[in-house]
Amino acid sequence: MTVRTKPRLVTPVDPPRRRWPSPVIISVLAVLVAVHVLAWRGTGFSPGALIDGWRGMADFLGQALPPDLSVLPDSLDATVVTLYIALLGTTFSVPFAFVLAVLGSRATTRNTIVYQVARSILSFLRSVPDVVFALIFVTAVGLGPFAGVLALVFHNTGVMGKLWAEAMEETDPGPREALQVAGASGAQIATNAVLPAAMPQLVGLLLYRFDVNVRSSLVLGLVGAGGIGFLINQSIKVFRFDQMVTHILVVLVVVVVVDQLSAYVRRRIAA
């Protein structure tokens, strides 16, 4: 016996409606386009001017190549000084950055006033460029690497202190809360819960900042803070672009080596 079933009625499905961007997204895009147009005009951005200036660039390259390798010994000596500036600028900023990071982290500081004061100091030191600090210290202690070291100490304290404070705040809150319930002080919470958990990240950030400071010390030399940046500036002033290229090539090699070593150490720490 055959059982007949009623055919199913297929309900027609409406095609998906086209979703247009919301008015908020359209407004944001319009503002971004307008700002970029203003920036284009305000900076005088002109690809045509760059194309028209090819003769000047060709003349510059003609004077810069081949590099003058006779200044290589002086370049290497100045590069060592640049590394010294970066090393001392990073190392001497560690205790100041550490104290301000502990005071400016909500994971280790309960007092709101202390927290805000520490954060304000870090913001000030971070907002002043290291070049400005270098110009200030050059007028105080004279031309030379010492001014560069002082500039890096002040600026790096602000940057590294903020990075360290945020790394402490990102640690697992469970151990902190357990110690707090047990009546532990802020110092005990910091030394027993926060710092052990954040230490690998703190060391990694320290190595990263040393990597950045090597590049910064080059720029500081351009304003009289010593190192190979000072030689580059002198070469430009006397139009010895072939010597300038030699100094830049040495800097390139040093930066690549420091970057690779820093990345290798950070990977080992993370592992």
Domain ranges of the chain: 66-270
Least trusted range by pLDDT, from 3-7, 55-59, 68-72, 125-129: 3-7
How are the residues of the chain apportioned to helix, strand and coil, as percentages rounded to the nearest 5?
75, 0, 25
Burial class (CB in 10 A: 0-12, 13-18, 19+), 82: buried
Is the CA virtual torsion 69, 71, 77, 83 positive or negative?
Answer: negative
Tell the CATH topology of 66-270: MetI-like fold (1.10.3720)
Helices (H), 92-129: 94-103, 112-127
Type and span of the H or E element at 201 = helix 195-221
Residue with tokens 């031309």: 143
Please report the pLDDT score of residue 54 as a whole number: 72
Asked if residue 66 lies in contact with residue 189, where contact means CB atoms within 8 angstroms, the answer is no
| Side-chain half-sphere exposure of 120, counting CA atoms within 13 A | 6
Asked if residue 106 lies in contact with residue 169, where contact means CB atoms within 8 angstroms, the answer is yes
Instruction: For residues 98 and 199, give the distance between their C-alpha atoms in angstroms, rounded to a whole number.
Output: 12
Residue with tokens 């592992």: 271
Give the predicted TM-score (pTM) of the model.
0.75
Please report the pLDDT score of residue 209 as a whole number: 86
Would you place residue 13 in the very low, low, confident or very high pLDDT band (cuts 50, 70, 90)?
low
Please report the pLDDT score of residue 19 as a whole number: 67
